[in-house]
């Protein structure tokens, strides 16, 4: 959908630009010359209303050319500066909630062609711990949002029993006497898991998971007859690079290890990130389809870095909002 909109916006901007330039540099000067000719032929005694009618552009030309400045500004902002995105699922809770509308900085990872997403001018690379939007690596062109966990060359181990990541970082070009991955893993500074303010609810009448705060859960009056299963959720902090953030895990929920992406030559739940690729994960660790399941994300798939929440609606997936969360408006980390 996002790519279709980009195509429509680009096409509309291009078409209106043609009419704007023709009107400004060809048709309008031609009408002005015709007005002057008529004035000279009548010695200036012609009715001003007649001259105004002669100099007036056709309605459709005026409308199309007038749209161009607005479309051009929208095109530049959306294609190269900031693009709005809506959070549709709970995979990035509690950093990002269902109903958050975020601003994505498009120039963080390069100025890109708005249709093909090809980098035109390189401006930077994804950093560990950043939240980024990218095109799904399955080729569907879907926009996905996750956190950057593994950089090119990193060795990633996910401990499913502990819901923790182990990262052996790749050597940087400035490292001396270091080849491949470092022998010591990064210290990700995990805090002790505690009971969170969230409940995961699988309701019989809904095809998706819902997430409620304890207050919402009580107010909604959900009873066992309406739910297949309800889980409590634990919360703890994790540090990736310069970013310390909360992660959620679902207490008592078992992982389906048959869905894990298997990399050739590596044990289950162990991956070495190839050059030019990244390993992405959601903060809601037991409810995120991410690199653990679909594999690595090529750098050319990145769209931009999530920077701020500009509005947040209280809602569940595919439901109408019930309120606005003003307290969530602001920066993202």
Give the DSSP per-residue string, 252-294: TPPP-GGGSPPPTTS-TTEEEPPTTEEEEE-SBGGG--SHHHH
State which of 40-44, 224-228, 313-317 shows the largest mean pLDDT.
Answer: 313-317
Q: Which contiguous run of DSSP H or E holds residue 268?
A: none
Neighbouring residues of 32: CB distance < 8 A, sequence distance ≥ 6: 55
Is 91 one of the annotated active-site residues of the chain? yes
Domains of the chain: 2-83 (no CATH), 87-331 (2.10.109.10)
What is the spatial distance between Cα 304 and Cα 126, in angstroms, rounded to a whole number?
9
Quick: pLDDT tens for 97-129.
Answer: 999 999 999 999 999 988 888 899 999 999 999
Summarize the confidence of residues 58-87 as an average pLDDT.
90
Q: Exactly one of 135, 146, 155, 199 is catalytic; which is it? A: 146
What is the spatial distance between Cα 327 and Cα 333, in angstroms, rounded to a whole number?
15
Quick: pLDDT tens for 151-190.
Answer: 999 999 999 888 899 999 987 666 666 666 677 899 999 9
Q: Which contiguous run of DSSP H or E holds residue 70?
A: helix 59-76
Is 220 one of the annotated active-site residues of the chain? no
Q: What is the pTM of this model?
A: 0.86
Q: Exactly one of 65, 79, 89, 91 is catalytic; which is it? A: 91
Closest CA to 238 of 267, 276, 278, 281: 281
Bridging pattern class, strands 302-314 and 277-281: unpaired
Contact in structure between 107 and 80 (CB atoms under 8 Å): yes
């Amino acid at each position: 959908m996002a790519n279709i909109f980009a195509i429509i916006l680009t096409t509309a901007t291009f078409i209106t630009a043609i009419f704007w330039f023709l009107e400004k540099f060809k048709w309008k000067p031609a009408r002005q010359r015709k007005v002057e000719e008529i004035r000279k032929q009548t010695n200036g005694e012609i009715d001003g209303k007649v001259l105004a009618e002669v100099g007036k552009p056709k309605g459709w030309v005026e409308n199309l050319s007038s749209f161009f400045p607005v479309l051009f500004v929208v095109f530049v902002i959306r294609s190269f500066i900031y693009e709005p995105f809506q959070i549709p699922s709970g995979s990035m809770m509690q950093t990002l909630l269902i109903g958050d509308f975020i601003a994505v900085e498009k120039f963080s990872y390069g100025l890109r062609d708005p249709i093909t997403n090809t980098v035109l001018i390189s401006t930077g690379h994804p950093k560990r711990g950043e939240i980024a939007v990218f095109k799904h690596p399955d080729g569907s062109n879907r926009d996905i949002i996750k956190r950057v966990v593994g950089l090119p060359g990193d060795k990633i181990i996910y401990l499913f029993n502990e819901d923790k990541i182990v990262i052996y970082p790749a050597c940087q070009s400035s490292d001396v006497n270091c080849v491949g991955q470092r022998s010591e893993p990064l210290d990700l500074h995990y805090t002790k898991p505690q009971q969170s303010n969230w409940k995961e609810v699988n309701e019989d009448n809904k095809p998706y998971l819902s997430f409620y705060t304890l207050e919402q859960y009580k107010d909604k009056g959900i009873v066992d007859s309406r739910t297949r299963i309800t889980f409590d959720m634990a919360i703890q902090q994790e540090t990736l690079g310069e970013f310390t953030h909360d992660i959620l895990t679902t207490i008592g929920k078992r992982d389906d290890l048959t869905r894990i992406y298997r990399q050739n030559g590596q044990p289950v739940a162990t991956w070495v990130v190839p050059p030019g690729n990244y390993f992405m994960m959601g903060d809601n660790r037991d409810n995120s389809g991410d690199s653990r399941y679909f594999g690595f994300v090529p750098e050319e798939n990145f769209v931009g870095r999530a920077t701020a929440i500009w509005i947040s609606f209280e809602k569940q997936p595919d439901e109408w909002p019930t309120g606005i969360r003003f307290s969530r408006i602001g920066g993202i980390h």
